[in-house]
Structure 1
Amino acid sequence: MVSEHVQFRTDKRRQTEARIISAAADLFLEHGYRATTIRAVAKAAEVSVGRVMAIGDKGSILVACFDRWIGQLQDGTYTPPPPRRATLSKAGSEPAEAAGATSIGGTTSATNPRPASAVQRHLLDLFLPFLEFFAAHEDLSRDYTAAMVRVKEDPEVFRTLAEDLQGRLGDSLTSIGIGEDHARASAVALYDSYLGILFRWAATSMTLAEATDALLAVIAFHTRVRNPL
């Protein structure tokens, strides 16, 4: 009886936390990180400010929102809302796609043409949903990368979400004849490179086309079939 009561309270707490994260996610997407307050999240979730703060500060909640979005992107259940505004290039006022000379789904760019093999194309396609999300919500993504540096926690993007995507990458690499050990190591390196590119994109004037090209270059290196020693 006691264990059932404890389980009920645990389930209730998880449901409340999920409602808070959902409310925060909607507010972040609609108003941005800086304009969203903990009080606004509490009001939208119909809970107290203290209950929201029990999850963490605003940065921690943003990281939790990105964990949810990334998880939905990986399992194909994410439905994108309309972006707050048209994504602009960092260099000026043109739309990012027009300024970059390469659509995010493209395999070449005007500045650095690099055709991709079918396997390279497939590997890039595994990353495209995340790049597209970051491009559609660029300001929010910058705030997310900054929060990742500040928040001393263990986000899902470094745990189960990482393991899932690395598993898919490893399977693709072994399919072209790369040994399992090399494929596993390359999958981890690809994932770490992808995260590094996202951080560099958020912190510099790197364009979407340049980020895509940088990721393709790493993919091209790791898709070279390695002969066993």
Structure 2
Amino acid sequence: MASEHVQLRSGKRRQTEDRIIGAAAELFLDRGFKATTIRAIAKAAEVSVGRVMAVGDKDAILVRCFDRWIGQLQDGTYTPPPRRASLSERGSLSERGSSTAAGAVGVRAGAGASPRDTGPSRPSSAVQRHLLELFLPFLEFFAEHEDLSRDYAAAMMRVKGEPEVFNTLAADLQSRLSESLVSIGINEDHARSSAAALYDSYLGILFRWAATTMSLDDAVEAMLASIVFHTRIRSSL
């Protein structure tokens, strides 16, 4: 009986934490990091301020929110919240995202194309396209929520502990990357090393993006350059 009671309390605590993180996620996306208060999160989650603080401060909660968003992006379950921007702003964002994705993933190295037509900005193989497409949802999410992503990068430097982006989320995406690299003939050891390097490149790009005037196009270009290096160099080993 005691064990069942402990499990019940633990389950309720997890449900409450999930509700707090869910409420915080909606507020952060709607209002931004600085305008969202712990009191507002508590009100939205229908819990006390102390219960929110038991989950963590604003930095820790923002990191937990990004862990949730990144996990949803990786497993394909992320659903964007209703946008409240003007029609003109939505059109501008949509046009920017679609043109970047099309330009990055589009391949000129098809029928009639010469090797000179392909460069770091164009994937030259199906595997390179696939690898880039694994990263695009995250890059586009950061572009869509650029200010919040900068706050996230700063929070990561202040929060103690290891976010899921360095643990289970990293292991899952690196496994997918490694499988793709093996599929083009790279041996498993090199594939695992390259997958880890690509993941570190992706995190480095996000932090550089947060600290500079880097654009989505620049981020995609940098990610693709790393992909091209690892698929071309490693495949010859």
State the alpha-carbon separation in 2 of the partners of residues 179 and 103 from structure 1. 32
State the alpha-carbon separation in 1 of the partners of residues 187 and 120 from structure 2. 30
* Structure 2 residue corresponding to 1:151, chosen from 131, 153, 159: 159
- Which residue of structure 2 lines up, in the alignment, with residue 172 of structure 1? 180
1:17 equivalent in alignment to 2:32: no
Q: Deviations over 1:119-138 (max 9, x none)?
A: 10000000011011111111
Distance apart, 1:105 and its partner CA = 4.0
Give the length in aligned residue pairs: 220
- Which residue of structure 2 lines up, in the alignment, with residue 27 of structure 1? 27
Task: Give the 4+ runs in structure 1 shifted more than 2 A.
Answer: 82-86, 95-102, 104-109, 111-116, 225-228
State the alpha-carbon separation in 2 of the partners of residues 155 and 18 from structure 1. 16
SS at match of 2:79: coil
1:3 equivalent in alignment to 2:3: yes
Q: Deviations over 1:141-183 (max 9, x none)?
A: 1100110011112110000000000000000000000000000
**Aligned pair in 2 of structure 1 residues 170, 115: CA closer, same or farther (>3 Å)?**
closer
**Aligned pair in 2 of structure 1 residues 164, 100: CA closer, same or farther (>3 Å)?**
closer
Contact 2:33 2:151 in 1 (8 A): yes
1:218 equivalent in alignment to 2:226: yes
- Which residue of structure 1 lines up, in the alignment, with residue 49 of structure 2? 49
SS at match of 1:154: coil
- Which residue of structure 1 lines up, in the alignment, with residue 116 of structure 2? none
SS at match of 1:223: helix
**Aligned pair in 2 of structure 1 residues 227, 112: CA closer, same or farther (>3 Å)?**
closer
User: Where in structure 1 are there 5+ consecutive unaligned residues?
Assistant: 87-94
TM-score (norm 1): 0.89
Task: State the AA in 2 paired with 1:40.
Answer: A
Distance apart, 1:101 and its partner CA = 11
Distance apart, 1:207 and its partner CA = 1.0
Contact 1:97 1:104 in 2 (8 A): no
* Structure 2 residue corresponding to 1:104, chosen from 101, 104, 118: 101
State the alpha-carbon separation in 1 of the partners of residues 193 and 55 from structure 2. 34
User: Where in structure 2 are there 5+ consecutive unaligned residues?
Assistant: 87-91, 107-118
Structure with greater helix share of residues: 2
- Which residue of structure 2 lines up, in the alignment, with residue 124 of structure 1? 132
Distance apart, 1:113 and its partner CA = 4.2
Task: State the AA in 1 paired with 2:31.
Answer: H
State the alpha-carbon separation in 2 of the partners of residues 223 and 112 from structure 1. 12
State the alpha-carbon separation in 2 of the partners of residues 146 and 49 from structure 1. 24
**What are the equivalent positions in structure 2 for 1:51-66 lying under 5 Å apart?**
51-66=51-66
Contact 1:101 1:209 in 2 (8 A): no
**Aligned pair in 2 of structure 1 residues 125, 56: CA closer, same or farther (>3 Å)?**
same
**Aligned pair in 2 of structure 1 residues 156, 141: CA closer, same or farther (>3 Å)?**
same
- Which residue of structure 2 lines up, in the alignment, with residue 161 of structure 1? 169
Identical aligned residues as a percent: 71
- Which residue of structure 1 lines up, in the alignment, with residue 112 of structure 2? none
TM-score (norm 2): 0.86
State the alpha-carbon separation in 1 of the partners of residues 81 and 95 from structure 2. 22
Task: State the AA in 1 paired with 2:16.
Answer: T
